[in-house]
Chains A and B, each alone.
Chain A
Amino acid sequence: MSDSLTARTVMITGHGEDEIEAYLAQPDGDRPRGGVVVIHHMPGYDRATKEITRRFAELGYDAICPNLYWREAPGAAPDDAAAAARANGGVPDERLVGDVGGAAAYLRTLPTSNGKVGVIGYCSGGRQSVLAACHLDLDAAVDCYGAFVTGTPPEGSPMRSNLVDQLPSLRAPLLGLFGVEDSYPSPEQVAELAEILTANGKEFEFHSYEDAGHGFFASDRPSYRVAAANAGWEEIAAFYAAKLGS
Protein backbone atom coordinates (compact mmCIF):
# COMPACT_ATOMS: atom_id res chain seq x y z
CA MET A 1 0.00 0.00 0.00
CA SER A 2 1.29 3.43 -0.92
CA ASP A 3 1.46 6.15 1.72
CA SER A 4 1.06 8.90 -0.89
CA LEU A 5 -1.87 11.15 -0.20
CA THR A 6 -3.50 14.41 -1.23
CA ALA A 7 -5.09 16.97 1.10
CA ARG A 8 -7.13 20.03 0.20
CA THR A 9 -9.95 22.32 1.25
CA VAL A 10 -13.41 21.54 -0.12
CA MET A 11 -16.91 22.90 0.42
CA ILE A 12 -19.59 20.52 1.62
CA THR A 13 -23.28 20.81 2.42
CA GLY A 14 -23.84 20.82 6.16
CA HIS A 15 -26.74 21.35 8.51
CA GLY A 16 -29.61 23.34 7.07
CA GLU A 17 -28.16 23.01 3.55
CA ASP A 18 -25.42 25.48 4.54
CA GLU A 19 -22.21 25.35 2.55
CA ILE A 20 -19.32 24.92 4.95
CA GLU A 21 -15.59 24.45 4.60
CA ALA A 22 -13.96 21.08 5.19
CA TYR A 23 -10.48 19.61 5.00
CA LEU A 24 -10.28 16.48 2.85
CA ALA A 25 -7.35 14.05 2.84
CA GLN A 26 -7.30 11.07 0.50
CA PRO A 27 -4.88 8.28 -0.24
CA ASP A 28 -3.67 8.20 -3.80
CA GLY A 29 -5.14 5.56 -6.11
CA ASP A 30 -8.63 4.29 -6.76
CA ARG A 31 -8.78 1.37 -4.33
CA PRO A 32 -12.22 1.23 -2.66
CA ARG A 33 -12.03 2.26 1.00
CA GLY A 34 -13.93 3.49 3.97
CA GLY A 35 -14.21 7.09 5.11
CA VAL A 36 -13.58 8.86 8.40
CA VAL A 37 -15.16 12.09 9.64
CA VAL A 38 -12.83 13.86 12.07
CA ILE A 39 -14.57 16.19 14.54
CA HIS A 40 -12.23 18.94 15.67
CA HIS A 41 -11.89 19.91 19.33
CA MET A 42 -13.09 23.20 20.84
CA PRO A 43 -9.87 25.04 19.96
CA GLY A 44 -10.97 24.65 16.42
CA TYR A 45 -10.21 23.58 12.89
CA ASP A 46 -6.53 23.79 13.58
CA ARG A 47 -3.23 22.43 12.34
CA ALA A 48 -3.22 19.56 14.83
CA THR A 49 -6.65 18.35 13.73
CA LYS A 50 -5.67 18.57 10.07
CA GLU A 51 -2.59 16.46 10.88
CA ILE A 52 -4.94 13.86 12.38
CA THR A 53 -7.07 13.99 9.24
CA ARG A 54 -4.03 13.35 7.06
CA ARG A 55 -3.03 10.47 9.30
CA PHE A 56 -6.30 8.73 8.50
CA ALA A 57 -5.53 9.12 4.80
CA GLU A 58 -2.12 7.61 5.48
CA LEU A 59 -3.95 4.73 7.17
CA GLY A 60 -5.88 4.21 3.95
CA TYR A 61 -9.16 6.10 4.46
CA ASP A 62 -10.77 9.06 2.77
CA ALA A 63 -10.88 11.48 5.69
CA ILE A 64 -12.67 14.76 6.13
CA CYS A 65 -12.81 17.35 8.88
CA PRO A 66 -15.68 19.85 8.64
CA ASN A 67 -15.00 23.35 9.93
CA LEU A 68 -17.68 23.55 12.62
CA TYR A 69 -17.02 27.28 13.06
CA TRP A 70 -17.31 28.26 9.40
CA ARG A 71 -20.62 30.02 9.90
CA GLU A 72 -19.33 32.26 12.69
CA ALA A 73 -15.94 32.97 11.19
CA PRO A 74 -15.40 32.09 7.53
CA GLY A 75 -11.75 32.35 6.63
CA ALA A 76 -10.63 33.39 10.11
CA ALA A 77 -7.59 31.98 11.89
CA PRO A 78 -8.62 28.83 13.79
CA ASP A 79 -8.06 30.38 17.22
CA ASP A 80 -10.04 33.51 16.34
CA ALA A 81 -12.82 31.34 14.92
CA ALA A 82 -12.93 29.27 18.10
CA ALA A 83 -13.17 32.43 20.21
CA ALA A 84 -15.99 33.78 18.04
CA ALA A 85 -17.88 30.49 18.20
CA ARG A 86 -17.52 30.35 21.97
CA ALA A 87 -18.72 33.94 22.32
CA ASN A 88 -21.79 32.93 20.31
CA GLY A 89 -22.57 30.07 22.66
CA GLY A 90 -20.79 27.19 20.93
CA VAL A 91 -22.00 24.63 18.41
CA PRO A 92 -25.58 23.46 18.96
CA ASP A 93 -25.97 19.68 19.02
CA GLU A 94 -28.50 19.72 16.18
CA ARG A 95 -26.12 21.65 13.94
CA LEU A 96 -23.25 19.31 14.79
CA VAL A 97 -25.29 16.30 13.74
CA GLY A 98 -26.20 18.02 10.48
CA ASP A 99 -22.62 18.95 9.69
CA VAL A 100 -21.26 15.48 10.46
CA GLY A 101 -24.09 13.99 8.41
CA GLY A 102 -23.14 16.23 5.51
CA ALA A 103 -19.50 15.25 5.81
CA ALA A 104 -20.40 11.53 5.88
CA ALA A 105 -22.64 11.97 2.83
CA TYR A 106 -19.81 13.75 1.01
CA LEU A 107 -17.46 10.84 1.73
CA ARG A 108 -20.00 8.35 0.42
CA THR A 109 -20.25 10.23 -2.88
CA LEU A 110 -16.53 9.85 -3.55
CA PRO A 111 -15.81 7.32 -6.31
CA THR A 112 -13.43 5.50 -3.96
CA SER A 113 -16.04 5.02 -1.21
CA ASN A 114 -16.97 1.51 -0.13
CA GLY A 115 -20.03 2.99 1.54
CA LYS A 116 -18.72 2.75 5.09
CA VAL A 117 -18.01 5.80 7.20
CA GLY A 118 -16.70 6.14 10.73
CA VAL A 119 -16.49 9.17 12.98
CA ILE A 120 -13.92 10.22 15.56
CA GLY A 121 -13.67 13.15 17.91
CA TYR A 122 -11.38 14.37 20.64
CA CYS A 123 -12.28 16.22 23.83
CA SER A 124 -15.58 18.03 23.11
CA GLY A 125 -15.50 16.19 19.78
CA GLY A 126 -15.55 12.89 21.65
CA ARG A 127 -18.98 13.68 23.02
CA GLN A 128 -20.01 14.91 19.58
CA SER A 129 -18.80 11.66 18.00
CA VAL A 130 -21.13 9.69 20.26
CA LEU A 131 -23.92 12.21 19.60
CA ALA A 132 -23.51 11.83 15.83
CA ALA A 133 -23.57 8.04 16.11
CA CYS A 134 -26.88 8.25 17.98
CA HIS A 135 -28.54 10.07 15.07
CA LEU A 136 -26.74 9.17 11.84
CA ASP A 137 -26.10 6.02 9.85
CA LEU A 138 -22.45 5.49 10.63
CA ASP A 139 -20.45 2.28 10.71
CA ALA A 140 -18.10 3.02 13.61
CA ALA A 141 -17.60 5.74 16.19
CA VAL A 142 -14.56 6.64 18.30
CA ASP A 143 -14.84 8.74 21.44
CA CYS A 144 -11.52 10.08 22.68
CA TYR A 145 -12.08 11.37 26.22
CA GLY A 146 -15.31 13.19 25.54
CA ALA A 147 -16.79 14.79 28.66
CA PHE A 148 -20.49 14.78 29.51
CA VAL A 149 -21.56 11.74 27.55
CA THR A 150 -22.49 10.77 31.08
CA GLY A 151 -22.13 13.04 34.11
CA THR A 152 -23.77 16.39 34.63
CA PRO A 153 -22.68 19.49 32.70
CA PRO A 154 -21.93 22.47 34.96
CA GLU A 155 -24.71 24.91 35.67
CA GLY A 156 -24.78 27.70 33.12
CA SER A 157 -23.18 25.56 30.44
CA PRO A 158 -24.61 26.05 26.95
CA MET A 159 -24.63 22.26 26.76
CA ARG A 160 -27.93 21.55 28.40
CA SER A 161 -27.58 17.84 28.99
CA ASN A 162 -25.46 14.76 28.75
CA LEU A 163 -26.25 12.04 26.20
CA VAL A 164 -27.66 9.41 28.56
CA ASP A 165 -31.20 9.68 27.16
CA GLN A 166 -29.86 9.33 23.60
CA LEU A 167 -27.57 6.34 24.15
CA PRO A 168 -30.33 3.77 23.51
CA SER A 169 -30.33 5.14 19.93
CA LEU A 170 -26.61 4.54 19.37
CA ARG A 171 -26.38 3.01 15.91
CA ALA A 172 -22.69 2.22 15.53
CA PRO A 173 -20.06 0.20 17.37
CA LEU A 174 -18.21 2.49 19.76
CA LEU A 175 -14.52 2.56 20.62
CA GLY A 176 -13.77 4.65 23.70
CA LEU A 177 -10.24 5.77 24.63
CA PHE A 178 -9.76 7.39 28.03
CA GLY A 179 -7.11 8.46 30.51
CA VAL A 180 -7.25 7.03 34.02
CA GLU A 181 -6.15 10.41 35.41
CA ASP A 182 -8.87 12.34 33.58
CA SER A 183 -11.63 13.97 35.64
CA TYR A 184 -13.85 14.83 32.65
CA PRO A 185 -14.72 12.11 31.90
CA SER A 186 -13.76 10.49 35.19
CA PRO A 187 -13.19 6.72 35.41
CA GLU A 188 -16.54 6.57 37.22
CA GLN A 189 -18.29 8.31 34.32
CA VAL A 190 -16.61 5.96 31.84
CA ALA A 191 -17.81 3.01 33.93
CA GLU A 192 -21.34 4.46 33.94
CA LEU A 193 -21.22 4.75 30.16
CA ALA A 194 -20.12 1.13 29.86
CA GLU A 195 -22.97 0.04 32.13
CA ILE A 196 -25.54 1.91 30.06
CA LEU A 197 -24.23 0.53 26.78
CA THR A 198 -24.18 -3.00 28.19
CA ALA A 199 -27.73 -2.63 29.47
CA ASN A 200 -28.84 -1.52 26.01
CA GLY A 201 -27.04 -4.32 24.20
CA LYS A 202 -24.67 -1.98 22.35
CA GLU A 203 -21.36 -3.08 20.85
CA PHE A 204 -18.48 -1.18 22.44
CA GLU A 205 -14.83 -1.46 23.39
CA PHE A 206 -13.18 0.80 25.96
CA HIS A 207 -9.51 1.28 26.81
CA SER A 208 -8.35 3.41 29.71
CA TYR A 209 -4.66 4.24 29.95
CA GLU A 210 -2.52 4.66 33.04
CA ASP A 211 -0.37 7.78 33.36
CA ALA A 212 -2.71 9.61 31.00
CA GLY A 213 -5.26 12.32 31.57
CA HIS A 214 -7.38 14.48 29.33
CA GLY A 215 -5.92 15.26 25.92
CA PHE A 216 -3.28 12.55 25.83
CA PHE A 217 -3.37 12.37 22.02
CA ALA A 218 -2.55 16.09 21.65
CA SER A 219 1.08 16.02 20.60
CA ASP A 220 1.38 19.84 20.69
CA ARG A 221 0.18 20.17 24.27
CA PRO A 222 1.58 19.37 27.73
CA SER A 223 -1.13 16.74 28.17
CA TYR A 224 0.50 14.54 25.50
CA ARG A 225 1.37 11.04 26.70
CA VAL A 226 3.31 9.17 24.10
CA ALA A 227 2.64 5.63 25.38
CA ALA A 228 -1.11 6.14 25.66
CA ALA A 229 -1.29 7.94 22.33
CA ASN A 230 0.65 5.25 20.51
CA ALA A 231 -1.46 2.51 22.06
CA GLY A 232 -4.63 4.44 21.27
CA TRP A 233 -3.69 4.88 17.63
CA GLU A 234 -3.15 1.12 17.41
CA GLU A 235 -6.65 0.54 18.75
CA ILE A 236 -8.15 3.05 16.34
CA ALA A 237 -6.38 1.46 13.37
CA ALA A 238 -7.56 -2.02 14.33
CA PHE A 239 -11.13 -0.87 15.05
CA TYR A 240 -11.53 0.96 11.77
CA ALA A 241 -9.89 -1.89 9.83
CA ALA A 242 -12.53 -4.22 11.26
CA LYS A 243 -15.52 -1.89 10.85
CA LEU A 244 -14.71 0.15 7.74
CA GLY A 245 -12.82 -2.36 5.61
CA SER A 246 -14.20 -3.52 2.28
Chain B
Amino acid sequence: MCTYTTERAAIDGSAKGPNGSWFHVTDATVYFDHPVHAMAGHTLNIDLTDPSRGPSARVAVELTAASARDLVAAIQAALAAVPAELTR
Protein backbone atom coordinates (compact mmCIF):
# COMPACT_ATOMS: atom_id res chain seq x y z
CA MET B 1 0.00 0.00 0.00
CA CYS B 2 0.94 3.63 -0.23
CA THR B 3 0.94 4.63 3.41
CA TYR B 4 0.72 8.38 2.73
CA THR B 5 1.67 9.16 6.30
CA THR B 6 4.87 11.18 6.63
CA GLU B 7 6.74 12.15 9.78
CA ARG B 8 8.79 15.31 9.70
CA ALA B 9 11.60 16.70 11.81
CA ALA B 10 13.56 19.93 11.72
CA ILE B 11 17.24 19.03 11.73
CA ASP B 12 20.54 20.86 11.73
CA GLY B 13 23.59 19.26 10.18
CA SER B 14 25.19 18.32 6.90
CA ALA B 15 24.84 15.55 4.38
CA LYS B 16 26.88 14.45 1.41
CA GLY B 17 24.58 14.57 -1.53
CA PRO B 18 24.40 14.83 -5.32
CA ASN B 19 27.75 15.14 -7.11
CA GLY B 20 29.58 14.24 -3.92
CA SER B 21 29.04 17.68 -2.41
CA TRP B 22 28.29 18.36 1.21
CA PHE B 23 25.37 20.61 1.98
CA HIS B 24 23.53 21.88 5.03
CA VAL B 25 20.33 19.95 5.78
CA THR B 26 17.36 21.49 7.54
CA ASP B 27 14.53 18.96 7.14
CA ALA B 28 14.02 15.24 7.57
CA THR B 29 11.01 13.32 6.30
CA VAL B 30 10.45 9.76 7.41
CA TYR B 31 7.88 7.38 5.96
CA PHE B 32 7.22 3.69 5.44
CA ASP B 33 6.28 3.14 1.84
CA HIS B 34 7.31 1.67 -1.50
CA PRO B 35 11.01 2.17 -2.18
CA VAL B 36 12.45 3.47 -5.41
CA HIS B 37 15.48 1.18 -5.40
CA ALA B 38 15.54 -1.29 -2.49
CA MET B 39 14.35 -4.81 -3.28
CA ALA B 40 11.45 -4.84 -0.84
CA GLY B 41 7.76 -4.14 -1.04
CA HIS B 42 7.98 -1.47 1.63
CA THR B 43 10.87 0.21 3.34
CA LEU B 44 11.50 2.84 5.98
CA ASN B 45 12.53 5.84 3.93
CA ILE B 46 14.41 8.87 5.15
CA ASP B 47 14.99 12.04 3.17
CA LEU B 48 17.45 14.59 4.50
CA THR B 49 16.91 17.82 2.61
CA ASP B 50 17.33 21.53 2.29
CA PRO B 51 14.11 22.59 0.54
CA SER B 52 15.52 26.07 -0.10
CA ARG B 53 18.03 24.52 -2.52
CA GLY B 54 15.38 22.64 -4.52
CA PRO B 55 14.17 19.02 -4.73
CA SER B 56 17.56 17.60 -5.72
CA ALA B 57 19.22 18.77 -2.47
CA ARG B 58 18.37 15.46 -0.89
CA VAL B 59 20.07 12.44 0.62
CA ALA B 60 17.74 9.45 0.63
CA VAL B 61 17.93 6.04 2.25
CA GLU B 62 15.53 3.11 1.99
CA LEU B 63 15.88 0.53 4.78
CA THR B 64 14.05 -2.68 5.56
CA ALA B 65 11.97 -2.39 8.72
CA ALA B 66 14.40 -4.59 10.67
CA SER B 67 17.46 -2.63 9.58
CA ALA B 68 15.70 0.66 10.32
CA ARG B 69 15.10 -0.53 13.89
CA ASP B 70 18.74 -1.59 14.12
CA LEU B 71 19.76 1.86 12.94
CA VAL B 72 17.58 3.56 15.54
CA ALA B 73 19.14 1.38 18.25
CA ALA B 74 22.65 2.14 16.97
CA ILE B 75 21.98 5.88 16.96
CA GLN B 76 20.61 5.75 20.49
CA ALA B 77 23.52 3.61 21.67
CA ALA B 78 26.04 5.99 20.10
CA LEU B 79 24.42 8.98 21.76
CA ALA B 80 24.19 7.20 25.10
CA ALA B 81 27.84 6.16 25.03
CA VAL B 82 29.29 9.64 25.22
CA PRO B 83 29.24 12.19 28.04
CA ALA B 84 25.88 13.90 28.26
CA GLU B 85 27.42 17.37 28.06
CA LEU B 86 28.53 16.61 24.49
CA THR B 87 25.04 15.83 23.26
CA ARG B 88 22.95 18.62 24.70
Contacts and interface: CB of A to CB of B under 8 A. Distances in A.
Nearest to B4: A157
A222 B40 contact: yes
Contacts of A241: none
A141 B41 CA distance: 26
Contact of A76 (B1, B33, B55, B60): B55
A204 B31 CA distance: 34
Contact of A83 (B5, B29, B34, B39): B29
Chain B facing A: main interface SS: loop
Contact of A42 (B2, B8, B40, B51): B2
Interface stretch (A7-15, A110-118, A213-221): A213-221
A5 B56 CA distance: 32
Given A42-B33, A123-B34, A215-B41, A83 B58 contact: yes
A159 B1 contact: no
A80 B54 CA distance: 9
Contacts of B56: 76-77, 80
B41 A223 contact: yes
A235 interface: no
19 contacts: A41-B34, A76-B55, A76-B56, A79-B36, A80-B55, A83-B47, A83-B49, A86-B29, A87-B27, A147-B1, A156-B5, A157-B4, A157-B5, A159-B4, A182-B1, A183-B1, A213-B41, A214-B41, A222-B39
Interface of B: 1-6, 8, 27, 29, 31, 33-34, 36, 39-41, 47, 49, 51, 54-56, 58, 60
Closest 3 CB pairs of A and B: A184-B1, A73-B55, A76-B55
Interface of A: 41-43, 46, 72-73, 76-77, 79-84, 86-87, 89-90, 123-124, 147, 153-154, 156-159, 182-184, 213-215, 221-223
